[in-house]
Chains A and B, each alone.
Chain A
Amino acid sequence: MFRRILAPKLIVAALAATIAFHPSGPGFAAEGNRIVIAIQKFKFVAPDQKIKPGDTIVWVNKDFVPHTATAKDRSWDSGSIAPNGQWELVVSEGLSQAYFCIFHPSMTGRVDLRNN
């Protein structure tokens, strides 16, 4: 009972903290671009656009079966992306670039990092 009363208060407090300190809130300029990679007909369809640290990559699953976007060295992994679902990754320095779909290993892609 105590836990039930306490839980909503904790959630509200956590939400308030998130809103107050979220860098995309008012007064904060967005850092980096959002690059959308469509997963369509069992291919990773990336725009012809170099990616740099600070950008956010969004994988959008347009197929009717789940997929993953997973680094070949497993250093990052979307987990299952449901049909019509999406997953975001903020690009960091030294990000592992080669990736694939764990469910369908013939699907491969590469995060095309810009050379600075």
Chain B
Amino acid sequence: MLKKFLVAPLALLAIMTVTADAKSPAELNDLEIAHVAYTADSIDIRYAYLALAKSKNPAIHEFAKTMIRDHSAVNERALVLLKKLKASAQDNFLSQQLTAGSDKLVEEMSRLSGAEFDRRYAENEFAYHKSVNNLVEKTFIPNIENPEVKALFRDALIIFKAHEKHAEHMVSAIGS
């Protein structure tokens, strides 16, 4: 339990700490929320490429390829929608915190290898999806005003929840 707490992903810590800040995820507008989601997708794609480069575990490779495939598809769909709405995603404090947290984590994971890397990657994927899914479900979806953006987030949440289950299973399979 203590170990799980200690390995909480930096991106998750970023999400948790912003609530104490003057700014809150609940105050973001639709275009800022879109930017956070696009950033979160891109971060997970980055982790996946790192996993493909570092891991030799077939289960990790299968999962990482799915992350690249699915998160790229979601981002592609988001860009098509933004184009249709003649809008651009807006950078914001949360996107910046997520990116900064992921930079540190990539640096940390780059120093690991073998089973140690596999375990860190799997545990982070589980915790990352869990925290982002919670944010999307409890904060973003209720606050999004545009119905098409809201529908996209609802569809994406179904995908990300499947990823969360997959990651949870991966953590169990790898063991501690």
Contacts and interface: CB of A to CB of B under 8 A. Distances in A.
Interface string A87-116: 000000000000000111111000000000
Question: In terms of DSSP, what is the predominant structure of the interface of chain A?
Answer: loop
Interface residues of B, number: 15
Nearest to A107: B162
A30 interface: no
A41 B62 contact: no
A2 interface: no
B69 A104 contact: no
B23 to A, nearest CB: 32
Interface residues of A, number: 13
Interface string A28-54: 000000000000011000000000000
Nearest to A103: B66
A21 interface: no
Given A105-B166, A105-B169, A106-B165, A66 B158 contact: no
B107 interface: no
Nearest to B77: A64
B30 interface: no
Interface string A46-81: 000000000000000001111000000000000000
Contact of B162 (A83, A102, A106): A106
A106 B166 CA distance: 7
A104 B166 contact: yes
B73 A64 contact: yes
B103 interface: no
What 5 pairs between A and B have smallest CB-CB spacing? A106-B165, A104-B162, A65-B73, A103-B66, A65-B70
Interface of A: 41-42, 63-66, 83, 102-107
